[in-house]
Structure 1
């Protein structure tokens, strides 16, 4: 029980850090747009943990915390004038670009966090708890289901109205090229591959670097400045 309380405190800590970040950023800042989305996700996961939705709350809490820590580490790196992972660089580079719409910032951040950070967080969690990825599959799926449902709400909140979003609008084509559900499925495969490579550190490092680069490239595409 003491161990569970320790992780519960950690969830409260990451939520507090995201709230403080939200309060410090201009509303239109691209990082602020994503941070609000991710804060809502983390608070939702926390409520589901409190309601006993997860069959293994300790695993769910550990995964939630390890996941959030990777995003917050990227934020800290930029604040300290260090380079964040490649997957996050496009968001920080374009965060104030007037031609990038709020929905693009939200989806690019989600893509970086799901496509790169979540796979590594699964491995981090397995190491912390001494378990295999298969032992986390239920928690991974439940978190993924929450993310998918929140993505729908995000699109509703940030999508231009039907009078503005026409079939020829470039944003329509960008949105049609990316799916959180597909990204989540790919992440689970990636996490299992990374875990299988844990005894081959050189190969695992190269695999992780290439993953980081590929996800960053996709984020750069999602952040293509669009005409009004």
Structure 2
């Protein structure tokens, strides 16, 4: 699952590059940057090195259970009620199979109340706190909690005060601008966490990847502050 998440993180990074090349450098790239960060962060949560193997496995099962729950909840609102009923019935059957599997693998499973589920004490955490742990473990000088919250503000519809690059010109007109420094910072936010994700995957599997090492060399050249 973590490998798939990091592959999706890579695709989002590529999407930002395409938009930048096209000159589309306002809100859309922030939404993609936040999503890319989230995919990497969840991969870290699944493979967090300091966490015992059994707890990491519980996290993976909990993530599957939560995903299935949200799919079932969304199906209720399909306009075609016949199709909705079929989707719900299929998802409920999948839920029962997955629930039995989790209960057979783990000793203490509490799925009584959605939002408070736990598998051997493992619950969904605050993703803000996970972001903090992720970057702290990497030795980053940036607080991951701040970065994730900042990206979240940028990624969602906001008032004018929180709209990047919005200002007032000399004649009172509304203007939009973006600096090369801002684009550089966003590239940093995309590429360094992606490299951290690749390191998490390769370290977990005990691999020595020339491609990851080459990427590190390029990042050291362009974003040397990340390695201080």
Q: Normalising TM by the smaller chain, what interval?
A: 0.3 to 0.5
TM-score calculated relative to the size of structure 1: 0.34
Higher relative helix content: 1
- TM-score, normalization by structure 2: 0.34
Rg comparison, structure with higher value:
2
Pick 1 or 2: higher relative contact order, CA cutoff 8 A, min separation 6: 1
